[in-house]
Structure 1
Amino acid sequence: MTARIAIHPAVALIDVPRAITLSGFAAHTPVTLTLTSKQADGQVWRSRNVYLLDANGAIDVAQQAPESGAYAGVDGQGPFWSQSVLLTDDADAALLLAPAGADGAIHTLASATDGHGNHASARIEQHYAAPGAVRQELRQDGLVGTLYLPAGPGPHPAIVVLNGSGGGINDARAALFASHGYAALALGYFGAPGLPDYLSGIPLEYFERALQWLRHTVKPAGDFVAVSGHSRGGELALLLGSLYPRAVSAVIAYVPSSVVHGVLNAGKPGEGRFKPAWTQGGQALAHVWEQNAAQDWSLVDALPEPRRQAQAFVQAQQDETAVARARIPVERIAGPVLLLSAGDDGYWPSTQYARDVAQALKAADHPHAVEHHDYPQAGHALQAPHVPTTELARAHAVSGVVLTGGGDAAANARANVDSWETVHRFLSNAVAQHTPLAVAHAG
């Protein structure tokens, strides 16, 4: 029998779990399964795991833990999330793998070898954009982003996707939303061509204009437009929902803040941490670091890299006056709210922030659904399902300081899967329960 790797499905959306089975190898011997992928940024990642073959020279990865390798326990998706960056060049692997498309599709080569010279390989493609999805660049009226439209005729409910303090445009997540039936605008607001280089004094009217553009352009089903953001983007999503309640139908806040922050690590050179990040009507929004008697970054700044900076944010929360002044007025949001937090968040205390938001909404008798899903062992980097999760620390895209997001690879992988399923379910419910008339009179 010829050695074989079977991947099902070999080509599919990234949120689809893959079944990996090996057959035709030598019985009762170890087999090494290697996955090598090229991510959207061009980096090559790899996992190696050794499994013990059964009497037929076969295994189902979903039913057997590796004897050794990059992850432990039974997990059919372990070979994917346990990949780590190759620190040395592997020209052969790079040549074998196609570059990622505009949507960040991941191309992976799977290979397996036993100790008797039997070898098999297979290719895998994890896509963010479904076949037929339409990608349109937005460069109009000062707006910069990418609009993804689902395959097939509309109208479709819509969503705006916002990145955090690293800036840029999140094509991949918008493409994945579009693949599930949403007109998705990945909106940049700094750190992309045509936009400011830094998160400094960003006018919130920019986002109001983007919401108007999206409604005018795609004419969303039921006038439904959600806003989703990660980290500083989560802070921003809550801000937009509270400041423009007639324009925002639902809010999804990944590892967000309950208070407004200054520029922190993403401001202009020489600004420090405490210049304003957001303005409205030409005036800076108050933020929690202003005249904050409890703020102290000295311990964090003294840490070797990678730094865990969450403690500085916990410390700042002790100045109740500063917190009250900078609190996001979430009770003004005129739709359902989903909060996703990480209990081991190394960037900031997203669990406490999300809890504060949920409590404020409850105290205000918020008439719409409020969900808070916390992942106690996970870190800051909640992502799409089935991507590598081993890189817990990385240099900040603006400051260059190496920070740790927290969590561990397995916990982060589980959180990625569950959070995406939760978002998908939340949005489906929000669309089903949405009434345009309620939004028209809200706020």
Structure 2
Amino acid sequence: MLQVTPADALIDVPRRIAAEGLAPGERVRIESRTVRGPGIAWTAQVELTADADGTVDLGRDAPLAGGSYEGVSPMGLVWAQVPEQPGAPREVFAAEPAAPLTTELVLTRADGSRWQAAFVQRLTGEGVTRREVRDNGLSATLFLPPGPGPHPAVMVLNGSGGGINEPRAALYASHGYAALAVGYFKSPGRPDHISDTHLEYFETALQWIHAQLRPAGGFVALSGQSRGGELVLLLATLMPEMVSAVIGYVPGAVVHSAQNACNPANGPDSRNGPAWWWRGQPLPHLWEHNRTATWAPWDEGPEPRRHANALLTALQDAEAVERARIRVERIRGPVMLLSATDDGSWPSSLYGRMVVERLAAHGHPWPVEHLDFEGAGHSIVFPFVPTTQLAYAHPVSGRLSTSGGTPAANAHADEASWAGVRDFLQQAASAAKAKP
């Protein structure tokens, strides 16, 4: 018998994958298969040896050499999956972003007989609702927990790939938060590029959350990834009265230019142009009047290229860094930062330390947490999704890049970061609710 427990649960719930009834010392193979993105099958496999009782347990047993991962990992058959088709899109969710994922398992015995099992990973818990929001020019999707509320709220922002981050918003809602995933480019009704994004758009989104959702305790957190991580820190400095807490996944500590998500119609220097505008003016950014910045390490470096190497040249100009620095001391609430020491996209570990040091220097009176994951890369998501696709073609520029890290380190960062974020949000929302 091959069993998965629980067989149907939220995606962040670890499973016990085990088999019993084998011969003592029998060598078996277990394979996983999940259809993701536009109908692409992702697979992983390990071989194990049954113990004296004729059982194998992925939470106890390390696989034999040559499998998809090494060491004991209860969910290794998920995070170690790779697409069957070389060069396939690296989208790890379903074609409908918040839809459940079904993973099929096959155990093959020494005699050739096969045992089968399956489990379901859900992004939306029971009673969670989804609706598209197009009010006031917004391009967003709202996920609401069951029950009348009011609920604490989270606004979710994507990075330089654009689009609407429905999976993360759905999972936030499944844990009790009203979650509005907001698209600001490459989403319905919005531009195709990050260039010249006017931050008043997010002011409208925050006003909508406060007015329409009336969050419990007035609590509205911002959660953003990569460029979205830069953005949530920036928005909390410009609109502090509407932001209760900030969660920055691999964020920037400075305002960046449009970079690889730029609009090429803006000319040959479009990646050096502004990404963000506020009150009719472009915000100063790192590449502006920078005396040391050069794209050469990126343009001329070996593939897959590390975008971080170009940004490190720009960070050598202290005056340019100070002009572009996000004034995080203006934030009026707790801050959580998730970063990685082998981030290939930009130096998020350094950026995280810069933010922490700035807040400490200004005596920030709210909690500040920084989880910096050793050996991990830029793609920190949440638990139990594949982490193997380290090289990719950027979704806007098309350049072959690496996000850095290793599959195992990235899987650890996914799991530990989400546990930290859940605790952080719970404490921050509870503190807001307790205010008189």
- Aligned pairs for 1:307-386 within 5 A: 307-386=305-384
Q: 1:387 aligns with which of 361, 385, 388?
A: 385
Equivalent residue for 2:39? 42
Larger mean Cα displacement after TM superposition, 80-89 or 148-157: 80-89
Equivalent residue for 1:259? 254
Match status 1:232 vs 2:232: no
The 8 Å contact of residues 99 and 107 in structure 1, kept in 2 or not, is answered as: no
- Aligned pairs for 1:157-236 within 5 A: 157-236=152-231
Match status 1:6 vs 2:13: no
The change in CA–CA distance for 1:135 and 1:121 in structure 2 (over 3 A counts) is same
- Aligned pairs for 1:61-210 within 5 A: 61-68=58-65, 69-87=67-85, 101-210=96-205
CA apart distance, 1:54: 2.3
CA apart distance, 1:118: 2.2
Equivalent residue for 2:413? 415
Q: Cα deviation per residue 1:337-375 (whole Å; 9 max; x = unaligned)?
A: 001110000011001111001111011111111111100
SS at match of 1:63: coil
The 8 Å contact of residues 21 and 55 in structure 2, kept in 1 or not, is answered as: yes
Equivalent residue for 1:425? 423
Aligned amino acid, residue 206 of structure 1: Y
Q: Cα deviation per residue 1:184-217 (whole Å; 9 max; x = unaligned)?
A: 0011000112111000111100000000101111
Q: How many residues align structurally? A: 428
CA distance in 2, matches of 1:89, 1:268: 25
The 8 Å contact of residues 336 and 369 in structure 1, kept in 2 or not, is answered as: yes
CA apart distance, 1:24: 2.6
The 8 Å contact of residues 223 and 436 in structure 1, kept in 2 or not, is answered as: no
CA apart distance, 1:100: 5.2
The 8 Å contact of residues 161 and 184 in structure 1, kept in 2 or not, is answered as: yes
SS at match of 2:303: coil
The 8 Å contact of residues 81 and 409 in structure 1, kept in 2 or not, is answered as: yes
CA distance in 1, matches of 2:405, 2:97: 29
Aligned amino acid, residue 373 of structure 2: Y
CA apart distance, 1:56: 3.7
CA distance in 2, matches of 1:345, 1:82: 19
The change in CA–CA distance for 1:56 and 1:240 in structure 2 (over 3 A counts) is same
CA apart distance, 1:436: 8.9
The change in CA–CA distance for 1:99 and 1:229 in structure 2 (over 3 A counts) is closer
Match status 1:58 vs 2:55: yes
CA distance in 1, matches of 2:40, 2:155: 28
CA distance in 2, matches of 1:63, 1:275: 52
Identity %: 49
CA distance in 1, matches of 2:106, 2:128: 31
Aligned amino acid, residue 330 of structure 2: R
SS at match of 1:257: coil
The change in CA–CA distance for 1:22 and 1:100 in structure 2 (over 3 A counts) is farther
Match status 1:286 vs 2:252: no
SS at match of 1:279: strand
CA distance in 1, matches of 2:209, 2:131: 12
Q: Give the TM-score normalised by the residue count of structure 2.
A: 0.95
CA apart distance, 1:296: 1.1
CA distance in 2, matches of 1:433, 1:89: 47
The 8 Å contact of residues 39 and 45 in structure 1, kept in 2 or not, is answered as: yes
SS at match of 2:240: coil
SS at match of 1:314: helix
The 8 Å contact of residues 40 and 106 in structure 1, kept in 2 or not, is answered as: no
The 8 Å contact of residues 339 and 372 in structure 1, kept in 2 or not, is answered as: yes
Larger mean Cα displacement after TM superposition, 270-279 or 421-430: 270-279
CA apart distance, 1:102: 4.5
The 8 Å contact of residues 216 and 433 in structure 2, kept in 1 or not, is answered as: no
Aligned amino acid, residue 160 of structure 1: M
Root-mean-square deviation (CA, aligned residues, Å) is 1.7
Q: Give the TM-score normalised by the residue count of structure 1.
A: 0.94
Aligned amino acid, residue 109 of structure 1: E
The change in CA–CA distance for 1:88 and 1:296 in structure 2 (over 3 A counts) is closer
Q: Cα deviation per residue 1:364-402 (whole Å; 9 max; x = unaligned)?
A: 111111111100210000011011111111111100111
CA apart distance, 1:88: 6.2
Aligned amino acid, residue 156 of structure 2: V
Aligned amino acid, residue 11 of structure 1: D
Equivalent residue for 2:28? 31
The 8 Å contact of residues 25 and 118 in structure 1, kept in 2 or not, is answered as: no
The 8 Å contact of residues 100 and 107 in structure 1, kept in 2 or not, is answered as: no
The change in CA–CA distance for 1:47 and 1:286 in structure 2 (over 3 A counts) is same
The 8 Å contact of residues 40 and 105 in structure 1, kept in 2 or not, is answered as: no
Aligned amino acid, residue 2 of structure 2: I
CA apart distance, 1:104: 3.9
CA distance in 2, matches of 1:197, 1:134: 28
The 8 Å contact of residues 33 and 48 in structure 1, kept in 2 or not, is answered as: yes
Equivalent residue for 1:95? none
The 8 Å contact of residues 250 and 378 in structure 2, kept in 1 or not, is answered as: yes
CA apart distance, 1:251: 0.3
Residue segments in structure 1 that go unaligned for 5+ positions in a row: 91-97, 439-443
The 8 Å contact of residues 104 and 171 in structure 1, kept in 2 or not, is answered as: no
- Aligned pairs for 1:235-250 within 5 A: 235-250=230-245
Aligned amino acid, residue 328 of structure 2: V
CA apart distance, 1:437: 6.9
